[in-house]
Amino acid sequence: MDTIRHRGPDDSGVHVEGTSALGFRRLSILDLTAAGHQPMLSGDGRFAMVFNGEIYNYVELRAELRALGHSFRSSGDSEVLLAAYGQWGAKCVDRLRGMFAFCIVDRTSRAVFAARDRFGIKPLYLQETAEGVLLASEIKAIRRAALREARPNVPRFAQWLADGRMDALPNSAETFLEGVEQVMPGTTLTISPTGVVSRQRYYSPDWIPETGAASADEFGALLDDAIRLHLRSDVPIGVMLSGGMDSVSLTCRFSALTGGPEARTQPIHAFCYTADEFDELSQLQDTVRATGVSQHRVSDSSAEHFWGLLPKLIWHHDEPVQGTSALVGFELYRLAASHNIRVVLSGQGADETLAGYPNYFDNLLVSLALSGRLPALLQQATIIARERKLPRTREALHK
């Protein structure tokens, strides 16, 4: 718990009983009172839980559980999650909209249930030893608590150094520390009182059937619904703002859903990074004027400053990072924290879900060629290029 104090400076707690021990560091977001303290016991006293993350649809789930006879002492999502497990058991994860990693001890059977959200937004690591099973939100916590010497996973390091990119590594449970694995996204664990671990995959994107492309109106409605749920918080919420379409869209919809600049009683704090090689100042200024957000910019964007942050960044990540964007993000979150903002909306992931990388375009061309539709598209692109006096390039095809 001391090792991950930075994850939860507001409160801490332990629950030790029989063959299990739970420790928690709290960052208070929902229900800032003592009613949100963890480890949390269920109303009937059977279950004890530690939970990292946020269940965005906890309001709807609480109403459903109340109709089934449950009562609640707190106003947050932790107690709702605990009641959901008491009602539906392991199947509760199918009803959760959010990011989460949690661990629940059945004080009657002494079995442990743990789960990680569908896309692995919240971290969860595991080590099995002869002495027992360790679970933690960071690898360094397992290193601190482990009863065996921590050794680097040499094959994993070798593969990373050979490939040169983190995203070139196979998607597996392996980490860079020997014997420590990540609980895979969309996975639940059951741990017996004797330490036998059973894994069950409850979600994979591969299982989702194709439904066709959504219209702009449908996509807009989904985006608004997601932002509306993410705005459920008992502390102020900020936004990471660049000149890109993802963060600009989030900021504009955030502003609109909170009544716009004229209706707001509290400012929206936007945190920005600008540099000569990424000059998006004009787009940022347009967005700030349109939404009335309070803009805060990273004051020092020099290479020397960011190089100085690298050791601390690696300490927090425990493993190699993908690239320099992680340093920029690290500094932006430090900037947000300095303004007492602990919840932010971010455009991370938009490029992956909205085909925002050049390789997606290459894949599209191959698919069109295999389907026989590429000649017609190229002919149409040539006509557009002539009309707009564009070169016959990917840019013409995009337009």
Q: Which residues contact 121 (CB under 8 A, 6 or more apart)?
A: 53, 99
pLDDT at 213 over 80: no
Cβ neighbourhood burial of 372 (10 Å; 0-12, 13-18, 19+): exposed
Proportion of the chain above pLDDT 90, given as a percent = 71
pLDDT at 304 over 70: yes
d(CA 92, CA 66): 15
| DSSP character string of 170-217 | --SSB-SBTTEEEPPTTEEEEE-TT--EEEEE---GGGSPP--PPPHH
| Mean pLDDT along residues 295-324 | 91
pLDDT tens digit sequence for 326-378: 999 999 999 999 999 999 999 988 888 888 888 887 888 788 888 888 888 88
| Mean pLDDT along residues 184-205 | 96
pLDDT at 9 over 80: yes
Q: Which helix (H) or strand (E) holds 146?
A: none
Note the CATH architecture for domain 216-353: 3-Layer(aba) Sandwich (3.40)
Distances (CA, A) of 348 to 151, 227, 355, 366: 32, 14, 13, 27
Length of the chain equals 399
**How much is the pLDDT for 397?**
54
pLDDT at 383 over 90: no
| Mean pLDDT along residues 152-170 | 89
**How much is the pLDDT for 358?**
80
Residue ranges per structural domain of the chain = 5-124+183-206, 216-353, 358-398
| Mean pLDDT along residues 267-289 | 88
Residue 348 pairs in a beta bridge with none
d(CA 97, CA 222): 13
pLDDT at 312 over 70: yes
Tell how strand 294-297 and strand 269-272 pair up.
Answer: parallel
> Rg of the chain over CA atoms, in angstroms?
24
**How much is the pLDDT for 392?**
54
d(CA 341, CA 34): 21
pTM for the structure as a whole: 0.89
Query: Sorting pLDDT into bands at 50, 70 and 90, what band is 396?
Result: low
CATH number of 5-124+183-206: 3.60.20.10
Flag the least confident range among 94-98, 169-173, 306-310, 352-356: 352-356
d(CA 335, CA 294): 13
> What is the chain's mean pLDDT, rounded?
91
HEC secondary structure over 329-349: HHHHHHHHHHCCCCEEECCCC
Structure tokens at 11: 């409160």
Tell how strand 237-240 and strand 343-345 pair up.
Answer: parallel
**How much is the pLDDT for 398?**
57
Q: E strands of the chain, at which residues? A: 11-17, 20-26, 40-41, 47-55, 98-106, 112-116, 125-128, 133-136, 180-182, 187-191, 197-201, 237-240, 269-272, 294-297, 343-345
Q: Specify the amino acid at residue 282.
A: S
| Mean pLDDT along residues 145-154 | 83
Distances (CA, A) of 238 to 77, 136, 234: 20, 28, 13
For residue 166, what is the DSSP state? Answer: G
Residues 291, 273: contact at Cβ < 8 Å? no
**How much is the pLDDT for 374?**
81
